[in-house]
Every structure is written in C-alpha cells, then in structure tokens.
Amino acid sequence: MSDQANKPAEWHGAKMEFKESMSYGDYLGLDQILSAQHPLSPNHNEMLFIIQHQTSELWVKLMLHELQAVRGQLRAGELDPAFKMLARVARIMDQLVHAWDVLATMTPSEYTAIRPYLGASSGFQSHQYRALEFILGNKNPQLLAVHEKNPPAHAILERELHTPSVYDESVMLLARSGFAIAPGRLERDWTLPTEADESVKAAWLVVYQEPDKHWGLYELAEKLVDLETAFRFWRFRHVTTVERIIGFKTGTGGTAGVSYLRKMLDVVLFPELFALRTAL
C-alpha cells in the first residue's frame, strides 16, 4: 500500500469524517427526502412532475410556518417582525410563480404518458395548500371531506377553519387602533370566507388617505397586497400552464379542469384593500 492510501483524506481543511458527528445530510434528513420520489410510469419526465410538486409542498410548508407566526405577531401588536415574515411569504410565492417555467418544459405528449398512472390524485387534495387558502381567509368547510382518510391533516384544516385568518387579525388590529369596525365583522363566523365589509373599507381608506398618521397599518396593508398579488400570479401561471399541457381535458381530481381553475382566479383574499383603490 502506498503512503498516500494510509493518510487520512484531506481537502482544504474541510472536516472529512462523520462517524461521530452530525453531517449535512443527517441535519437535513436528506436520506428521507431524496428517497421519497417514486415514479410509477416508465416515463423519464415523471421525475420532474414529482419533484415540482414536492418542492412546492416544502415551500408551502414554510409559508404556513411564517403565516402562523404572522397571525400571532398581529395579535400581539408586534408589526415589525410580522412585516419581515409577510415579505418572506410574498417572495416565496414569487419564487413559486417562476417555478412554473420549469414545469412548462413538460409537453402534452410527455404528460399524456404519465397521466394514466396518476389515478385520481391532484393538487386539489393538497392539505397544505388548503390550509394556506384558509389562513389567508379563503375558507370552505366543504373541502375538508377530501382529507377524511388523513386524520392529522383533517385536524389541521379543522383547526385552521375555526381560527381567524391573517386578514381577520388585521381587521381586529384596525379596531384596536381606534377604527370603528362593525361588531358583526369582529365576531363573525370564522369558518366563512372573507366578505367585504363597509366599515373595514372605510378604515383602510383613512389609512391610505393619511399614511403618515397610520404608517404601521399602511405598511401592513401594502405587505398584504404584495402577497395577494403574488398569489394571483401563481393561480394565473397554474391555469395557463395547465391549459398548455392538458388543454380543456378534465382534471385528475375530477373537476372540469381549466374552467375550474379560471373560476379560482376570481378569488379575492383581501377585498377592501383592493376596493379602496377605486375610492381613493
């Protein structure tokens, strides 16, 4: 054996031996993450399809983590950390908007080869995505049924359904800041989707008319508008990518497909924040 073979491996001073200590892969659980891709078809392109969905789910997990903290910060009146987190969520959403460019490299022929292997599975059944919609105020109790076979996911959604959304917390903050918000808006049934309220619109209008006086609320409103704008782009890129790939075929999840996704483009998460712009 040469002397070289007996020497411990060395590379620019980097630690090379991890029998006793935690490595990068240990810390990140990479064995689990990287062994979770199981293509069902013989088609090369299914790996793209799987990884695109899995990475999106990871980013949605982070958005939920941030938004749950934002809700707590708003309740505690700690706006600065909430702004930081809201900015992060909007940037994550922007990144997911651009991620569609990668999936758009999948042609209809390639998807058609995979589709029979997908069964009835669809992003429509993403419990994290549903929780994201709920925490932003787009509540829909009917959609919990999809998650009955997964009790932990069902429980998360059930809890999220009954908890005031990030926007509800923003409206409560308006009230605590001295704005006259209709009592019915402050004690509403939290399981219902956000509905425009005149008293909320009037309050935001004042904030926008006198931003210097209400800077914190003004900044909060703009951060929310940033987030909703990025979310709208995401929905738009989804539907256009889907049309490009499957045309007007029905979805694997059972909806009419593109026409269903187009209807979702009409969802407005923070209605008064957009309505006030016409009134200003």
- Known binding residues are 49-53, 111, 115, 238, 252
How many residues lie near ligand HEM (CB under 6 A)? 24
Q: Is 128 in the site for ligand HEM (CB under 6 A)?
A: no
Q: Is 257 in the site for ligand HEM (CB under 6 A)?
A: yes
Alpha carbon distance 258, 244 (integer Å): 10
By CB under 6 A, the residues from 75 to 114 that bind ligand HEM are: 103, 106, 111
Q: Which region, judged by CB under 6 A, interacts with ligand HEM, from 25-33, 120-128, 144-152, 196-204?
A: 120-128
Long-range Cβ contacts of 264-267 (<8 Å, 24+ apart): 264/235, 264/239, 265/232, 265/235, 265/236, 265/239, 267/138, 267/235
Q: Is 252 in the site for ligand HEM (CB under 6 A)?
A: yes
* Given 73, 126, 165, 194, the residue binding ligand HEM (CB under 6 A): 126
Tell me how far, at minimum, the Cβ of 117 lies from ligand HEM, in Å. Answer: 13
Neighbour count for residue 182 (Cβ, 10 Å): 15
CB-nearer residue toward ligand HEM: 102 or 279: 102
Site string for ligand HEM, 36-75 (x = CB under 6 A): ----------------xx--x-------------------
Q: What is the largest CA-CA distance in the chain?
A: 84
CB-nearer residue toward ligand HEM: 151 or 254: 254
Q: Is 264 in the site for ligand HEM (CB under 6 A)?
A: yes
Helix, strand, coil percent values for the chain (each to nearest 5): 65, 0, 35
CB-nearer residue toward ligand HEM: 194 or 252: 252
Angle formed by the axes of helices 215-246 and 166-176, to 10°? 160
Long-range Cβ contacts of 56-62 (<8 Å, 24+ apart): 56/96, 56/99, 57/126, 57/128, 59/92, 59/95, 59/96, 60/126, 60/128, 60/129, 60/132, 61/128, 62/92
Tell me how far, at minimum, the Cβ of 261 lies from ligand HEM, in Å. Answer: 6
Residue 41, classed as helix, strand or coil, is: coil
Which residues of the chain form contacts with ligand HEM (CB under 6 A)?
52-53, 56, 103, 106, 111, 122-124, 126, 129, 238, 242, 245-246, 251-255, 257, 260-261, 264
